[in-house]
Amino acid sequence: PAPAGLPGDPDPEEAVSDDSSRHGGRVRGFPHERGNWATHVYLPYIAQEEFLELLELLVCRARTYVPSLAAMEEFHLSLSQCVVLRYHWIEPFVRSLRERLAAFHRFFCVADQVKVYTNQNKTRTFIGLEVSAGHFQLLELVSEVDGVLEEFDLPTFYKDPSFHISLAWCVGDLSGRLEGQCLRELQDIVDGFEESAFLLRIQWEQIRCKSGNKYFSFPLR
């Protein structure tokens, strides 16, 4: 039976289509099945106007190497992979997350190193800002999130992760075009941006979990 207290229909409202042309050519990491909810734990980052100005500079320069590059519309730092939850697991999964994360305090990190990433199956390439300070606190959070994932026999986070905020993406593995000279030019833009030292020192205030079309928030103390 569906658990009590969860809003929405146990049949996911996320109308599903695997037509990649409807979402910029992106390809699902795993096939959709009814009753399976794609789930992700992350730290949300609310972009300020100055951050969007920096983003525009970076994307404009990177597009001289990869014209198909698209800027991200929302920003976050991942604490888990995208995993699959059955509908009736959502409530106990969120409850376990809340219990494990309750003791954590707000903290700062610095994300100021430009880096190029690809997803696991090489269908997308990303430009991101890698964390250069605050790594220890992020590993502590991941350890607790991993503990919850293990309870549900789900894949844990990457070993030795490169924590980052994705800024832009494109379809396919175009990392070869973005690394080298392009990457050096992008790092110069970040280093020379007037507000970067203040802007890229980020205070994390909450953790979120997105499962299908539902969002759960866990404020840090």
What is the phi/psi pair of residue 48, to 5°?
-90, 165
The CATH fold of domain 34-219: Cyclic Phosphodiesterase; Chain: A, (3.90.1140)
Report pLDDT digits (tens) over 92-139.
Answer: 999 999 999 999 999 999 999 999 999 999 999 999 999 999 999 999
Task: Give the orientation angle of helix 90-101 with respect to helix 135-151, to 10 degrees.
Answer: 140
* Residue 180 in tokens: 């080298």
pLDDT at 29: 52
The answer, yes or no, to whether residue 20 has pLDDT greater than 50, is no
Catalytic residue among 40, 76, 88, 135: 76
32 is catalytic: no
Q: Is the dihedral of CA 132, 207, 211, 145 positive or negative?
A: positive
Express each pLDDT in 74-98 by its tens digit: 999 999 999 999 999 999 999 999 9
Sign of CA dihedral 45, 158, 142, 95: positive
Say whether pLDDT at 15 is over 80. Answer: no
Read off the tokens for 73: 């519309």
If you count DSSP H runs as helices and E runs as strands, how many of each does the chain have, helices first? 6, 10
DSSP codes joined into one string, 33-94: -TTEEEEEEEEEE---HHHHHHHHHHHHHHTTT-TT-EE-SSEEEESS--EEEEGGGHHHHH
Kind and range of the H or E run holding 110 = strand 107-118
How far apart are the C-alpha atoms of 91 and 170, rounded to whole Å? 34
**Looking at residue 210, what is its pLDDT?**
98
Residue 76 is a catalytic residue: yes
The pLDDT tens digits for 145-159 are: 999 999 999 999 999
